[in-house]
């Protein structure tokens, strides 16, 4: 790569990063306002050529990553790095800086889209392959990002000392996050499986419990 190609690569990288300031809030707002439309959009865009995918929003995995980065930044501002990253042993010792902590959180919250997607394939009796899993996983990353952000805000509120109203508000925010995410998953399974709301609720509840179990097990390994 010559010097001019290097500069062109820097131009492209700078432009891509700076446009996140525009397309991240657009993606967040659309996901909150019309989550099912965004999930369908995520699926359909994978049929286009790679350079033509997601022209007016962020790609689902990038949206999830930037949402966790935003949540982490807010947490750093309110809690501080020393309280987030302490000296630990075992697997927890792998978390030694902000980057490793962010990557671990990305792994944790990617569990939800993964298990939801696998659950749908299993109930449709579709073959589990990379190609069959990818569109469902991408679709699930959009609501998972909103879920992670609201959970992060609620968790921070419960950690605020001094005024007990912050903790109460934090618990309500956490409850609202689970209700929103659980309701969305219920109707997603209803739409995708063509089943009743009651069965969709049962599948969504079971799948969320499975996701939370894996989440807790991963957290226990790093405790």
What pLDDT, on the 0 to 100 scale, is given for residue 82? 46
3-state SS assignment for residue 87: coil
What pLDDT, on the 0 to 100 scale, is given for residue 159? 80
What pLDDT, on the 0 to 100 scale, is given for residue 93? 46
The answer to whether the CB of 122 falls within 8 A of the CB of 133 is: no
Residue at token pair 């209700």? 179
| CB atoms inside a 10 Å sphere around CB 69 | 16
DSSP 73: H
Q: How far apart are CA 99 and CA 86, in angstroms?
A: 14
Sign, CA dihedral 210-212-216-219, equals: positive
| pLDDT of the chain, 223 residues: tens digit per residue | 566 666 667 777 888 889 999 999 999 999 999 999 999 999 889 888 887 899 899 999 999 999 998 988 887 777 665 455 544 444 444 455 566 677 878 888 999 999 999 999 999 999 999 999 999 999 999 999 999 999 989 988 888 776 788 888 999 999 999 999 999 999 999 999 999 999 999 999 999 999 999 888 877 776 5
The answer to whether the CB of 155 falls within 8 A of the CB of 178 is: no
What pLDDT, on the 0 to 100 scale, is given for residue 90? 43
Q: How far apart are CA 97 and CA 102, in angstroms?
A: 9
What pLDDT, on the 0 to 100 scale, is given for residue 106? 87
């Amino acid at each position: 790569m010559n010097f001019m190609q290097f500069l062109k690569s820097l131009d492209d990288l700078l432009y891509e990063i700076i446009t996140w300031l525009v397309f991240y809030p657009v993606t967040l707002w659309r996901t909150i306002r019309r989550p099912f439309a965004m999930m369908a959009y995520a699926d359909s865009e994978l049929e286009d050529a790679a350079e033509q995918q997601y022209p007016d929003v962020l790609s689902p995995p990038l949206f999830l990553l930037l949402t966790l980065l935003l949540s982490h930044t807010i947490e750093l501002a309110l809690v501080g790095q020393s309280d987030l990253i302490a000296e630990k042993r075992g697997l927890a010792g792998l978390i030694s800086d902000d980057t490793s902590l962010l990557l671990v959180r990305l792994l944790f919250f990617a569990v939800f889209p993964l298990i939801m997607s696998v659950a749908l394939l299993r109930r449709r009796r579709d073959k589990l392959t990379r190609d069959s899993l990818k569109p469902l996983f991408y679709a699930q990353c959009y609501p998972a990002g909103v879920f992670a952000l609201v959970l992060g805000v609620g968790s921070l509120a419960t950690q605020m000392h001094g005024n007990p109203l912050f903790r109460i508000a934090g618990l309500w925010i956490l409850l609202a996050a689970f209700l929103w995410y659980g309701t969305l998953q219920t109707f997603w399974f209803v739409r995708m499986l063509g089943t009743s709301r009651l069965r969709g609720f049962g599948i969504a509840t079971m799948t969320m419990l499975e996701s939370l179990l894996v989440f807790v097990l991963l957290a226990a390994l790093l405790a």
